[in-house]
């Protein structure tokens, strides 16, 4: 047992705080999550009106606001210096591929179920914003804790 008092009650030395953990970054993940919530709310709103054609004012507003938040998040992300861009793009590339496949399958389901016109357009726009948001959240969350020099 140490008499210096530097050890925790469990006998372990306290972990040194990393500068990566203390670093203040813009709210990129938070903005993208709010955008995802807007996309989900718009989709639920539209689904609640089926099989009748849904009113599109609320979903279009949600897609526009969510798309705006996504653009803001990407703009804030682009301004971060230094950042582990290599890690970010590694995760982003694979996550985008996965969400492109998911989005394409969902778009196929919509077309297969005879969704047409403006309703299909809003649903596809929702899928596009969603398919950018989730990979951005994943890639940012991984890269923010990586050493930018590595």
Is residue 128 scored above 70 in pLDDT? yes
Chain segment 60-96, per-residue pLDDT in tens: 999 999 999 999 999 999 999 999 999 999 999 999 9
- Token pair recorded at residue 144: 């923010």
Instruction: Check residue 17 and give its pLDDT.
Output: 59
Residue 74, φ and ψ in degrees, nearest 5: -65, -40
Would you give the DSSP letter of residue 50?
T
Looking at the chain, list the stretches that DSSP marks H as alpha helix, in order from N- to C-terminal side: 19-22, 28-48, 57-78, 85-112, 117-143
Is residue 8 scored above 60 in pLDDT? no
Whole-model pTM over 0.85: no
Higher pLDDT, 39 or 18: 39
The answer, yes or no, to whether the previous bond of 61 is cis (omega within 30 of 0) is: no
Average of pLDDT values for 94-113? Answer: 95
Average of pLDDT values for 34-51? Answer: 93
């Amino acid at each position: 047992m140490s008499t210096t008092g530097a050890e925790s009650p469990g006998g372990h030395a306290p972990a040194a705080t990393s500068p990566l953990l203390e670093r203040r970054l813009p709210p990129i993940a938070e903005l993208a999550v709010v955008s995802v919530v807007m996309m989900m709310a718009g989709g639920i709103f539209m689904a609640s009106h089926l099989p009748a054609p849904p009113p599109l004012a609320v979903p279009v507003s949600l897609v526009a606001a969510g798309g705006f938040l996504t653009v803001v998040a990407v703009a804030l992300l682009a301004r971060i210096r230094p950042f582990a861009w290599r890690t970010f793009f590694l995760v982003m590339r694979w996550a985008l591929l996965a969400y492109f496949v998911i989005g394409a399958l969902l778009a196929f389901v919509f077309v297969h179920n005879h969704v047409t016109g403006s309703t299909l357009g809003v649903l596809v726009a929702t899928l596009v914003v969603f398919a950018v948001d989730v990979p951005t959240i994943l890639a940012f969350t991984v890269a923010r804790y990586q050493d930018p020099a590595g």
